[in-house]
C-alpha cells in the first residue's frame, strides 16, 4: 500500500530542530524523533508501505498519523508536491514575530513605553520593511502580528500585506489604537484576502481620552469596535489601570462585551517610557491597590456570567465555559524539572522586532537597559540573531536560571509554585534577566493567592451551576487563544 503526506502539511526543519512538519492550516510546526520522521518521509505516494513491518511502535505511529489526517492513502495520480518537499531553514524555529512596523503614532499616550509620541525608536523605511519580510521568510517564520507605534499610519501597509502574502506569511493580529479603522481599511484587507484578529486598547468608559492624550480617542475606538464586530473580526482589548479608571472596571467589561469583544487583559501601567514623573507617581496603583481591585471585581465578573475572557495581570484568568479559572502567577515546577522548564512559556515561540530593528524576546524589553545588548536586524542578519545571540540566551532562560540567579528566588518558600514571574518585569525592576519580578514576589509573599481564591471560588461555583461546561466546549476553548498575550 502507498501513502502520502496530506497536502496541508510540509516537511520542514530548523536549526536545532531538523525533523519538523509544518501545518499550513494551524500555521505551526510539530517535531518528531529522527527515526519516526524518516518513516514519515516515506509516505510519498511512491514507496510501498507495510505499517506492521516495523513493529508495534511504528504501527502505533502510523495509526496516529492516519487518524490525525497527517497522512492518507495515496491515489493513483497522487504525488508529493514540490512545496511539500523537505526544506531546512538557517535559524531556530519561531512560530510568530510581533513586529513594530513604525515607532510613530497619531496619539499622545501618557503611558507609552515606546515613547511613540516622540518617535523615540524611529520608523523603518519602505526598503527596510521589505527586507524584514524577506528575512522572516528566509528563517521560516510564517506568522506575524503587526504593531507600532500605530501601524495603520503607514501608507505602504497594503504593499507590506502583499509581500507577506507572496512569502506565505500569515497576518495574525493587528495591534491598533483604532483611530484609523474604517470601512475603507477593512475593504483593503479583504481585497488582499487577509482576515486578522485585532487588539485595541480601551482604558475605561469616560477615561480613555485622558490616557491617550487626544480628544475624541474614546469615540473613535468605540466606533472601531462596533465596525469590527459588524464585519466579523475577532477583537481583544487591553486596559491599563490607574487610579482614575480603576472604578470603571465592571462597567467597562460589560460595555466591551456588548460590543462583541472576545477578551480583555488588564494590568497596571509599566514604569517605562512616558509613564514617569510626578503625574505618573500620583496615578500609579500600588500593588496592594491593584490586587484589592481584582479581588473586589472577580465575584462581580462571575455574577455578570463571565461576559468575556479575562486576564487580570498574573492574578486571575478565565475563558467562559472552561471548567476552571487560573492564577497565571502559579506555575507548578518542582526542583527536578526546573532546568528543563522555560521561565516564560511564550518567549520560546514568539519574538519581537522593534521599529529600530532590535530583536528582543518581547515588546516590553525594548526600553529596558538590556536593549543595548541586543542586535538589530538592520546590522546583523535575522538568521544569526535567531540562532546564536543575546536574544537567544534571554528567550531560553530556564526556571533554574531564575531560581539560581538571585537570592530571593533561591531561598523562596513558594519556589515550587512560582517560576519567577515575568522576565520583563524583572528587567524593569533591576536590569537582571534572572532577577525578581516584584509583582509575582509580592503576590505570593503577602498571601494574595489565597485572597484571590477566597474571592473567586464561591462566585465561580455559582457560575458553574448556571453554565456547566460541556466537554466539546472545553476542547474548543482550549484550541483558541482568546486572551491577548501582551499589553
Residue 473 and residue 321 in contact, taking contact as beta carbons nearer than 8 Å: yes
Q: Would you state the torsion angle of the CA atoms of residues 242, 248, 253, 255, taken in this order, to the nearest 10 degrees?
A: -130
Of 94-98, 279-283, 315-319, 384-388, minimum mean pLDDT range: 279-283
In terms of DSSP bridges, do strands 9-14 and 96-100 run parallel, antiparallel, or are they unpaired? unpaired
CA distance 431 to 427: 4
Of the segments 115-124, 366-375, 442-451, which one has the largest average pLDDT value?
442-451
> Whole-prediction pTM value?
0.92
DSSP state of 75: -
Give the 3-state secondary structure of residue 436. Answer: coil
Confidence of residue 439 (pLDDT cuts 50, 70, 90): very high
CA distance 468 to 221: 34
CA distance 402 to 103: 31
Confidence of residue 54 (pLDDT cuts 50, 70, 90): confident
CA distance 118 to 112: 10
Residue 43 and residue 3 in contact, taking contact as beta carbons nearer than 8 Å: yes
pLDDT digits 0-9 by tens, 175-191:
999 999 999 999 999 99
Confidence of residue 271 (pLDDT cuts 50, 70, 90): confident
Render 341-405 in DSSP notation, one character per residue. Answer: SBSSTTTTTEEEE-TT-BEESSGGGGGSGGGGGSPBTTTS-HHHHTTSSHHHHHHT-BHHHHHHH
pLDDT of residue 240: 95
CA distance 164 to 157: 11
Residue % of the chain over a pLDDT of 90: 79
In 3D space, the residue among 36, 93, 25, 34 whose CA is nearest the CA of residue 65 turns out to be 36
Which helix (H) or strand (E) element contains residue 238? strand 235-241
Arithmetic mean of pLDDT, 166-174:
97
> Is pLDDT above 50 for 486?
no
Give the 3-state secondary structure of residue 97. Answer: strand
Q: CA end-to-end span of the chain, whole Å?
A: 52
Arithmetic mean of pLDDT, 305-316:
97
% helix / strand / coil in the chain, to the nearest 5? 40, 20, 40
| Helix ranges (DSSP H) in 68-125 | none
The residue with cell 505516494 is 45
Confidence of residue 112 (pLDDT cuts 50, 70, 90): confident
Residue 330 and residue 417 in contact, taking contact as beta carbons nearer than 8 Å: yes
CA distance 98 to 259: 26
The residue with cell 505511529 is 61
Which residues face 90 on adjacent strands? none
Give the 3-state secondary structure of residue 83. Answer: helix
CA distance 173 to 215: 26
pLDDT digits 0-9 by tens, 327-363:
999 999 999 999 999 998 788 899 999 999 999 998 8
Amino acid at each position: 500500500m502507498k501513502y502520502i503526506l496530506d497536502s496541508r502539511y510540509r516537511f520542514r526543519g530548523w536549526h536545532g530542530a531538523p525533523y519538523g512538519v509544518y501545518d499550513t492550516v494551524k500555521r505551526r510546526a510539530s517535531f518528531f524523533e529522527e527515526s519516526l520522521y524518516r518513516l514519515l518521509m516515506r509516505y510519498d505516494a511512491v514507496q510501498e508501505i507495510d505499517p506492521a513491518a516495523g513493529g508495534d511502535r511504528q504501527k502505533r505511529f502510523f495509526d496516529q498519523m492516519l487518524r490525525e489526517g497527517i497522512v492518507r492513502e495515496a491515489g493513483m495520480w497522487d504525488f508529493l508536491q514540490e512545496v511539500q518537499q523537505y526544506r531546512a531553514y538557517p535559524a531556530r524555529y519561531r512560530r510568530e514575530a510581533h513586529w513594530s512596523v513604525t515607532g510613530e503614532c497619531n496619539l499622545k499616550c501618557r503611558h507609552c513605553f515606546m515613547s511613540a509620541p516622540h518617535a523615540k525608536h524611529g520608523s523603518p523605511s519602505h526598503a527596510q520593511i521589505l527586507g524584514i519580510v524577506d528575512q522572516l521568510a528566509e528563517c521560516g517564520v510564517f506568522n506575524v502580528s503587526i504593531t507600532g507605534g500605530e501601524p495603520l499610519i503607514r501608507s505602504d501597509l497594503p504593499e507590506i500585506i502583499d509581500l507577506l502574502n507572496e512569502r506565505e506569511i500569515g497576518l495574525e493580529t493587528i495591534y491598533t489604537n483604532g483611530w484609523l479603522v474604517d470601512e475603507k481599511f477593512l475593504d483593503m484587507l479583504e481585497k488582499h484576502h487577509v482576515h486578522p484578529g485585532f487588539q485595541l486598547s480601551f482604558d475605561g468608559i469616560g477615561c480613555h481620552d485622558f490616557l491617550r492624550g487626544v480628544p475624541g480617542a474614546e469615540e473613535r475606538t468605540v466606533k472601531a469596535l462596533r465596525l469590527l464586530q459588524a464585519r466579523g473580526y475577532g477583537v481583544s482589548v487591553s486596559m491599563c489601570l490607574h487610579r482614575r479608571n480603576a472604578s470603571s472596571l465592571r462597567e467597562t467589561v460589560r460595555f466591551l462585551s456588548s460590543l462583541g469583544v472576545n477578551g480583555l487583559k488588564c494590568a497596571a501601567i509599566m514604569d517605562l517610557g512616558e509613564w514617569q514623573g510626578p503625574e505618573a507617581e500620583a496615578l500609579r496603583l500600588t500593588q496592594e491597590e491593584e490586587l484589592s481591585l481584582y479581588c473586589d471585581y472577580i465575584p462581580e465578573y462571575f455574577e455578570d456570567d463571565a461576559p468575556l475572557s479575562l486576564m487580570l495581570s498574573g492574578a486571575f484568568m478565565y475563558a467562559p465555559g472552561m471548567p476552571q479559572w487560573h492564577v497565571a502567577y502559579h506555575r507548578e515546577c518542582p526542583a527536578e524539572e526546573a532546568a528543563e522548564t522555560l521561565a516564560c512559556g511564550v518567549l520560546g515561540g514568539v519574538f519581537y522586532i522593534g521599529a529600530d530593528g532590535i530583536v528582543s524576546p518581547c515588546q516590553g524589553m525594548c526600553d529596558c537597559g538590556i536593549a543595548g545588548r541586543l542586535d538589530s536586524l538592520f546590522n546583523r542578519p535575522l538568521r544569526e540573531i535567531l540562532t546564536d545571540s543575546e536574544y537567544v540566551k534571554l528567550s531560553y532562560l530556564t526556571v533554574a536560571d531564575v531560581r539560581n540567579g538571585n537570592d530571593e528566588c533561591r531561598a523562596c518558600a513558594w519556589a515550587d509554585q512560582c517560576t519567577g514571574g515575568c522576565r520583563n518585569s524583572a528587567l524593569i525592576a533591576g536590569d537582571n534577566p534572572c532577577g525578581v519580578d516584584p509583582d509575582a514576589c509580592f503576590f505570593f509573599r503577602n498571601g494574595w493567592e489565597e485572597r484571590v481564591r477566597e474571592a473567586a471560588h464561591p462566585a465561580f461555583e455559582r457560575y458553574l451551576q448556571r453554565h456547566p461546561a460541556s466537554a466539546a466546549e472545553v476542547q474548543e476553548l482550549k484550541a483558541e487563544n482568546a486572551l491577548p498575550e501582551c499589553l
